[in-house]
Structure 1
Amino acid sequence: MCCSRYLKTIMFISTGTIFAVGAAILGVGIWVTVDADSLLDFLDAPPELVGYLLIGLGLVLTFIGFLGCCGAVRESRYMLLTFFIIILLIFIAEVAGGIWLLVSRAGVKKLLEDINEKVVVSLKEHYGGPDDEAFTTSWNTTMDTLECCGYNNYTDFYGSPHVNMTDLYPIECCKEGTYCDVVRAAVDANSGCLPKLETLIKDNALMGAVALGVCGFEIAALVMSMVLYTKVGQSD
């Protein structure tokens, strides 16, 4: 009895946290959908699309958190079983995705190349354009923060409205902090943002720890929900 009460308390707290996180993500998704001038513009991604994805994720997490939390408190076998099935499906999908990432490196490389091409094209078409101030400002902020230039390097700005109008490259592309032409940029340019991001990710072991933590939490949730499900069945 004491063990059952302890499990109920842990599951209530953990699933309640999931519910709160889901609600927060849902709120951010709604904000991004409403705010078309979001900083997401720097990736040239439609804010509405990203907003809908966040809303969907928020709704799923909120629903999962509600099932686990309410199922534990009310000792509902139906809710606990539904919670178990959903978490199990998510866990299987994550394992399958991890295996795919390890085995299909060519697919991952192709995906990165597609993203690369999309971002570079958006830079050439919109950076410095009279109707693309939000896009330009977002990229300037990103480059200034990471001390990088373009997605790959300064050549990403070839043909952009800014270069076409000024024959100069962005201040962030030049280590001296001033606008520079192609000759100086070729010698004195900061590296691209993609290599900086790759280095940042490689040097940051936190992502791996978070992934392991998520998997560990899911396994614990599966065990707790099934144990409670069994105990509730025995008490009926």
Structure 2
Amino acid sequence: MGSACIKVTKYFLFLFNLLFFVLGAVILGFGVWILADRSSFISVLQTSSTSLKAGAYVFIGVGGFTMLMGFLGCIGAVNEVRCLLGMYFAFLLLILIAQVTAGVLFYFNMGKLKQEMGSIVTKLIQNYTDGHEDSLQEAWDYVQAQVQCCGWVSFYNWTENAELMSRINITYPCSCENKSKEDNNSLLPQMGFCEAPVGNGTQSSNNPDDWPVYKEGCMEKVQAWLQENLGIILGVCVGIAVIELLGMLLSIFLCRHVHSEDYSKVPKY
């Protein structure tokens, strides 16, 4: 095997590992986003769902480990160190198996996540308290205002809130208010309960049919968001898997054609 071919192979392997390092950072960032997000329904779900929290920690661990392997792969490729190339191949194989297993488990647990989401939101709506500062309530207010929906299945879910239905005048969740597009651009939605202006007629009860709110529930829109982003996540994972396979092939090819081990090439710090 000519030295020129080996040089081309090792620099291709270096570029693949550099891209691999960047994609590992993307995976790590996705896990951090799940844990740190406080302004979407992900916050609502991860506060009460241990499975989503565990998944976020798995993403962080896999991302960090992937970045480490990309770094070692770069050193092994440029310096032609067989032990690093062999270790790199073995760890890539383990990561690939772990990613496939995690992807399959995540896909088949989507139904469970949807059920957990529905249960959490229903309980949140029932226990929602006007004027009470709570991160979970604020996150759900943000979801309803930005997604332009009300309740989980429909706005009638809010009739299960005893405090809201005890009001004499027409009172509704502020974040559900059906606003025009111009008025809906605010990043900070209204919190708590709002009382509708008194019209010409007299109102003797808080009838939900008179609420000026979005009529569509958030369930379908949240599920559509999950499906859309699941496709993006799976696409990223497939792309990373392809890069991993190419990296494994290049590393084993280079390892087989490095005739002697030279530890003096390993950088000393």
Asked whether the equivalents of residues 144 and 172 of structure 1 are also in contact (C-alpha less than 8 Å), the reply is yes
- Distance, in Å, in 2 between the alignment partners of 1:147 and 1:44 is 22
For 2:144, the equivalent position in structure 1 comes to 143
Q: 2:214 aligns with which of 154, 170, 189?
A: 189
Asked whether the equivalents of residues 148 and 214 of structure 2 are also in contact (C-alpha less than 8 Å), the reply is no
For 2:178, the equivalent position in structure 1 comes to 175
How far the C-alpha of 1:195 sits from its partner, in A, is 1.0
Are 1:224 and 2:250 counterparts? yes
- Distance, in Å, in 1 between the alignment partners of 2:99 and 2:31 is 23
Asked whether the equivalents of residues 127 and 161 of structure 1 are also in contact (C-alpha less than 8 Å), the reply is no
Instruction: List gaps (5 residues or longer) in structure 2.
Output: 181-193, 197-206, 262-269
Q: Cα deviation per residue 1:102-145 (whole Å; 9 max; x = unaligned)?
A: 7xx6x64344313321343234335646131x333332322222
Are 1:18 and 2:20 counterparts? yes
**Bigger RCO (CA 8 Å, 6+ sep):** 2
- Distance, in Å, in 1 between the alignment partners of 2:232 and 2:4 is 36
For 1:64, the equivalent position in structure 2 comes to 69
Q: TM-score, normalised by structure 2?
A: 0.63
Letter in 2 for 1:217: I
Q: Cα deviation per residue 1:71-99 (whole Å; 9 max; x = unaligned)?
A: 21222222222222222223223444555
Q: 2:47 aligns with which of 45, 48, 56?
A: 45
- Distance, in Å, in 1 between the alignment partners of 2:158 and 2:235 is 37
- Cα gap change, 1:13/1:183 in structure 2, threshold over 3 Å: closer, same or farther? same
- Distance, in Å, in 2 between the alignment partners of 1:113 and 1:159 is 19
Are 1:5 and 2:7 counterparts? yes
Q: Pairwise CA RMSD of aligned residues?
A: 4.1
Are 1:114 and 2:139 counterparts? no
Asked whether the equivalents of residues 80 and 226 of structure 1 are also in contact (C-alpha less than 8 Å), the reply is yes
Asked whether the equivalents of residues 150 and 214 of structure 2 are also in contact (C-alpha less than 8 Å), the reply is yes
Asked whether the equivalents of residues 15 and 68 of structure 1 are also in contact (C-alpha less than 8 Å), the reply is yes
- Distance, in Å, in 1 between the alignment partners of 2:129 and 2:13 is 49
Instruction: List gaps (5 residues or longer) in structure 1.
Output: none
- Cα gap change, 1:216/1:164 in structure 2, threshold over 3 Å: closer, same or farther? same
Higher gyration radius (CA): 2
Q: Cα deviation per residue 1:154-192 (whole Å; 9 max; x = unaligned)?
A: 24444458736767332443435686752245x963423
Q: Cα deviation per residue 1:33-63 (whole Å; 9 max; x = unaligned)?
A: 7x7x8436443527xx577556434422322
Aligned residues: 227
Asked whether the equivalents of residues 19 and 66 of structure 1 are also in contact (C-alpha less than 8 Å), the reply is yes
Q: Structure 1: which 4+ aligned runs deviate by more than 6 Å? A: 27-33, 177-180
- Distance, in Å, in 1 between the alignment partners of 2:219 and 2:106 is 19
- Distance, in Å, in 1 between the alignment partners of 2:28 and 2:111 is 31
Partner SS, residue 131 of structure 1: coil
Partner SS, residue 169 of structure 1: strand
- Distance, in Å, in 1 between the alignment partners of 2:113 and 2:213 is 30
Asked whether the equivalents of residues 28 and 59 of structure 2 are also in contact (C-alpha less than 8 Å), the reply is yes
| Identity fraction in percent | 26
Larger relative helix fraction: 1
Asked whether the equivalents of residues 23 and 240 of structure 2 are also in contact (C-alpha less than 8 Å), the reply is no
